[in-house]
Structure 1
Amino acid sequence: MASSRPTLPFDPFALAQAAGEAAVGLAARPAELLTVQMEAARQWSDFWTGAVTGKATDKPRDRRFSAPEWQDDPYYRAMRDAYLLASKQLRETVGKAAGDTPQGAMARFLLDQYLNAIAPTNFATTNPEVVKRTKETGGANLVQGFLNLLEDVGSGKGIVQRRTDPDAFKKGDTVAATRGAVVYENELFQLIQYDPTTDKVAAEPLLYVPPLVNRYYMIDLVPRQSLVKWLVDEGRTVFVISWINPGPEHKDKGVEDYVLSGIVEAVGQVRKRAGAAPDLFSFCLGGTLAAIALAWLAAKGRANEVNSATLIGSLVDFSDMRDWAAFVHESHLTALEDHLEAQGFVDSLELQRLFAAMRANDLIWSSVVNHYLLDRPAPPSDLLYWFEDGARIPAAFLKSYNRELLLENRLTDAAGFKVGDAAIDLADITTPMLVIALKDDHVSAWDAVYRGARHLKAEFVLGGSGHNAGVINPPANNKHSFWTNSKQPADAKQWLETATRHEGSWWPWWTKWLDDKGNGKQVAARQPKKPIEPAPGRYVMMP
């Protein structure tokens, strides 16, 4: 008889054990512990001397302390600096005690959660903005904030569910609104083709491979932010894979299914409809799957079915997972597999909570302050609306991906991973490839992406900003920067030191790269044929 015991997608005992090991780590090295204590005493002596004499300190690059009082008022400045110094010392101490291991990553993760939670910005009496607001409203902000908290708890989804206004956007109307049609579908994906807006288009069509964890329309937000619309207006034929939101019936769909029945099938459909091999472009996990698909095509002698491939914020070498290493651990994987066996998939809310915890200040505590203490309405954000519109991942896929790719890092070994009867060797890929990393990426660290680019023998570009925002960078906004370098030294920092910085968006540079990899011809604009339904289609609407 199956157990009805609720399961967790992680092992809390492994976290507790890691914390305990870190706590006794330095105690076993008394000489080193004494050095740490002496240095901490010196730093606190300097801090109190500065605080008593009124010496102003430099403003930190920390958005939590952006209010002018944190810099101008001695009381708040001292509180800020004391918190930041204590946080720095604790992180350094745990780093020394725990080391660069999965257990160390878990200890650092727990410490970060604690330090983020106790920041003075999170409390009504120690946040100058909240103090000011409370005086202005006579405390009404705290009363309404408490009601907001009760409403969120009553929703059953936990606290902090209002990072953005959920009613500000509508799929197919204000976001995911570029005109097009679903032209093919199977049990895993719908294929969307967008209506042309130019008389002539590039001979090579584009096919986008999104990650499974979110819907495809990060690249089709509001029109002024839409990469899809920009590409179509630039004279490109754009196709997009829209993955189904899987349920229990998809429990046994694994990596092989998403590669063969997903990406390879979509490539074939695009070739059939456009009459040319597509340029793939992909994001995050979608890029990892695209690389596997390219290696599979190469192993089958079908490499010419794809003209080029662009991987954005994607990892193929998982040897350095940074903070994410805290959950790439045998105990967590076993707990997750038990959870998946009982449920059949990992739920989108569980994934969102994990991503939010990894960026707690931006995605949790800023909302706590704004929603529960300041009683400010959640601002409309198309990117956050997309982020919260998550998707599930089937059990078989996540088991294989987590264990074989993340934990065992098999893609870096020749023939270390199989899709069907084909051994996947990324070195066999002959398709022209471009890898784009994002400088402030918290999910796929840019230097880890760079190592993957060298492994793939791909060209490399570094964009500005973070994992999601760095992708959505319309040229008209003239934001961020990007870096190029024709050389690829082993050390990523050396690459950056000798790279050329370019102001603005990398989008135009990328389409020029696509032109260079194409045949240079233009053809008559391609209209979607035999449409099944208008874009964005049913799959992206699935709850």
Structure 2
Amino acid sequence: MDTTSTPDASTDPEQAARAAAQALDSRFHAAAAPLWGGLSPISLALAFTDWALHLATQPAQAARLAAGAQQAALQCWGQALGGAPDDTRDPRFRHPAWQQWPWAPMVHAQHAAERWWADATALRGMTAHHQEMTRFLARQWLDMLSPANAGLAHPEVLQRTAERLGGNLVDGALNALDAWRRDQGLAPLRPPAQAYRPGVEVAVTPGRVVHRNALSELIQYLPLTANVQAEPVFIVPSWIMKYYILDLSPHNSMVRWLVEQGHTVYILSWHNPDESDALLGLEDYLEQGVLDNLAAIGRLCGGQPVHAAGYCLGGTLLSIAAAALARPGGVAGGAALPPLASVSLLAAETDFAEPGEMGVLIDESQVALIEDMMAERGFLSGRQMAGSFAYLHSRELVWSQRLRALWLGEADAPSDLMAWNADTTRMPAVMHSEYLRRCYLRNELAEGRYPVQGRPVSLGDIRQPLFVVGTEQDHVSPWKSVYKIHRLVDGELSFVLTNAGHNAGIVSEPGHPRRHHALRTRAPGDPWVDPEHWADGAERREGSWWPTWQAWLTAHGSGRRVKARTPPVESVLCDAPGTYVHECHAD
């Protein structure tokens, strides 16, 4: 909740009345939110009005668009009478039958409508945010109405139904029933053949929990080499999901791979908050997540400098911590913290001016509605967060999945990454409100206004070398947004761009097929290079970026190797993966 605007009702009757009215309005908004799918009707109405008024006051553009629609309709008629097949690169229409009559005209009409609406929502004078919203919402409607969602009229569904004599429809009904049972907290009638349980099938790298506070557990992994690099590696994952995205199955576990290369590895496991944690803020996540655990690593490793790495929101939080530690005066209690040898940010934004698809529906009205929804229970549920991601990528995460599950009768092929993705976590109301407002709405970190312990921090104070990773198909942290850190720090910065998306691009183990990445290092004093021209001087490498990072960590350490560190008996609280990773609250 935006506590900066909460009226003080303790002394002023007028303020008390205002606070009571605000509380009543908040409950009304929360109750009505499901009717709008959790979206602010005010934001939607403002975007539509901006578009409609600009269209109404641009008659030449309206006439051009009308002519374009008429021409597209004539082309569709021509296609229906035997035109050439349409673009085959759209994954929704890969089945060969889509290139034949009567389905080919449907594909042509779908693509024509998408092109027309992309043009129609780019009107001069509209605010950039409203342009993005109207384009996004038009795409959502078109995706919903796509012939790919036509059920029995889908050629692949027709073929499968004929081949299986309707058995696919029976399987689809069972898949729908199992999905409903899971939503109600019931066991599916047909459980998956392969389970992925933390500590059993995934998150199995041997380790010990060596520190715990109310918000996080610190895991130290057992060494697999006789000697290790002197500087330990401390990983801060995002608190939106469970930490074991970086410790999935043994073959694709980043932490296991780092341990095998001779690093002492620590990682945070975040507590899954409930109603009692509603007032936890970003400052709590900073102090109990990064700083407290960094102090624990300092005690365990004798004050050795630490290679700190953060993934996604964990990287954003780590950058804040690094800036606070680097400023004059540091942080309270900073004398007990080990120095940072380097900072690595993996698919983590520090400048939110252009956040990509995640920012399409984030504005003042939408954030206020989210705050009202969270106020009822004190948190944003994992189901709500998962629903937001699904809505942003409905073509892949909703419609395509429904086609395969309900009409083709295919059960989801289980994988460790899918199981992790379904293992959602909550976010405390105050923390999530602060994150949305300070980062997305106000961009305080990039503008040097983000406060830590009452004083603003600047990323420009960071003097440690940085290793920053962006992923080409990232819809959560677009790589060009991640790249903007070049303008915020002055020191050495090595930027890697790897293929794949936000998760698969990071979980990109050596030996993974069809992986490649590019690397370019900027030295202090080098001129600015925009992201469009960055690749001109980048070194392209085949394979995973992990070995590139590991070599960089070694090069930016002292070069010393010490006897392998095992967790001290007196510090061990339990075996990895610990207790917080198993916290699963019904939403």
Band the TM-score falls in, shorter-chain normalisation = over 0.9
| Partner-residue secondary structure (3-state), 1:133 | helix
2:312 is aligned, of 277, 281, 284, to 284
CA distance in 2, matches of 1:169, 1:156: 19
Alignment deviations for residues 210-251 of structure 1 (CA, whole Å, 9 cap, x no partner)? 111101010111111111111111111110000100111111
Structure 1 residue 406: Cα displacement: 1.0
Q: Cα gap change, 1:16/1:47 in structure 2, threshold over 3 Å: closer, same or farther?
A: same
Contact 1:318–1:409, Cα closer than 8 Å, also in 2:
yes
Deviations 1:279-335 (A, max 9, x none): 111111111100000011112345961111110111111111222223221111111
Tell me, yes or no, if the aligned pair for 1:473 and 1:479 is still in contact at 8 Å. no
Instruction: Please state how far the C-alpha of 1:46 moved relative to its aligned partner.
Output: 4.8
C-alpha distance 393-297 of structure 1, shift in aligned 2 (>3 A):
same
Match of 1:355 among 389, 393, 401: 389
1:418 aligns with 2:451: yes
Asked if 1:320 corresponds to 2:354, the answer is yes
- Structure 1, 250-259 or 269-278: larger mean CA deviation: 269-278
Distance 1:56 1:155, change over 3 A: closer
> What CA distance in whole angstroms lies between the structure 2 residues aligned with 1:283 and 1:123?
39
Q: Specify the SS of the correspondent of 1:440.
A: coil
AA paired with 1:325? G
Aligned letter for 1:532? L
Q: Write the distance in 2 (CA, Å) between the matches of 1:98 and 1:128.
A: 43
Letter in 1 for 2:91: R
- Count of paired positions: 537
Aligned match of 1:55: 84
For structure 1, the 5+ residue unaligned runs are: none
- 1:59: Cα distance to partner? 2.0
Cα distance change of structure 1 residues 404 and 473 upon mapping to structure 2, 3 Å threshold: same
Question: How big is the shift at 1:422?
Answer: 3.0
- Alignment correspondent of 1:38: 67
Distance 1:28 1:157, change over 3 A: farther
Cα separation, 2, equivalents of 1:136 and 1:244: 49
1:22-33 correspondence runs (5 A)? 22-33=51-62
SS, match of residue 486 in structure 1: strand
Aligned residue identity for 1:451: K
Corresponding residue to 1:467 among 491, 502, 505: 502
Which residue of structure 1 aligns with residue 14 of structure 2? none
C-alpha spacing 1:100/1:168, structure 2 compared with 1 (3 Å): farther
Aligned partners of 1:330, 1:309: CA distance in 2, in Å?
A: 33
For 1:178, what is the secondary structure of its paired residue?
coil
Instruction: Label 1:16 to 1:148 Cα distance change in 2 as closer, same or farther (>3 A).
Output: farther
**Counterpart check, 1:232 vs 2:259:** yes
Tell me, yes or no, if the aligned pair for 2:171 and 2:406 is still in contact at 8 Å.
yes
* 1:340 counterpart residue number: 374
- Counterpart residue identity of residue 347, structure 2: G
Residue 495 of structure 1 corresponds to which residue in structure 2? 534
2:546 maps to 1:507: yes
1:203 pairs, out of 203, 225, 230, with: 230
1:114 Cα offset (Å)? 1.1
Q: Is the 8 A contact 2:228 2:262 kept in 1?
A: yes
Distance 1:363 1:98, change over 3 A: farther
Query: Cα deviation per residue 1:310-365 (whole Å; 9 max; x = unaligned)?
Result: 10111111111222223221111111122222221111110000011111122111
Amino acid at match of 2:578: G
Contact 1:10 1:333 in 2 (8 A): no
Q: Structure 1 length normalisation: TM-score? A: 0.93
CA displacement 1:402-447 (0-9 Å, x = unmatched): 1111101111223x11111332111111121111100110111111
SS at match of 2:102: helix
SS of alignment partner, residue 505 of structure 2: coil
Separation of aligned partners in 2, 1:57 and 1:343: 50
The structure 2 residue matched to 1:109, chosen from 117, 136, 141, is 136
Rounded Cα–Cα distance in structure 2 between residues aligned with 1:227 and 1:266: 20
Counterparts of 1:478 and 1:242, CA distance in 2: 30
2:568 maps to 529
Distance 1:257 1:470 in 2: 30
Give the % identical residues: 34
CA distance in 2, matches of 1:288, 1:243: 15
- Report the equivalent of 2:163: 136
Q: Structure 1 residue 153: deviation in Å? A: 3.8
| Residue range with higher mean Cα deviation, 427-436 or 454-463 | 454-463
How much has 1:74 moved relative to structure 2?
4.0
Query: What residue number does 1:406 align with?
Result: 440
Rounded to whole Å, the distance in 2 between the matches of 1:153 and 1:76 is: 32
Match of residue 482 from structure 1: 517
Amino acid corresponding to residue 448 of structure 1 in structure 2: S
Match of 2:581?
540
Matched to 1:297, the amino acid is L
Higher mean displacement: 389-398 or 14-23? 14-23
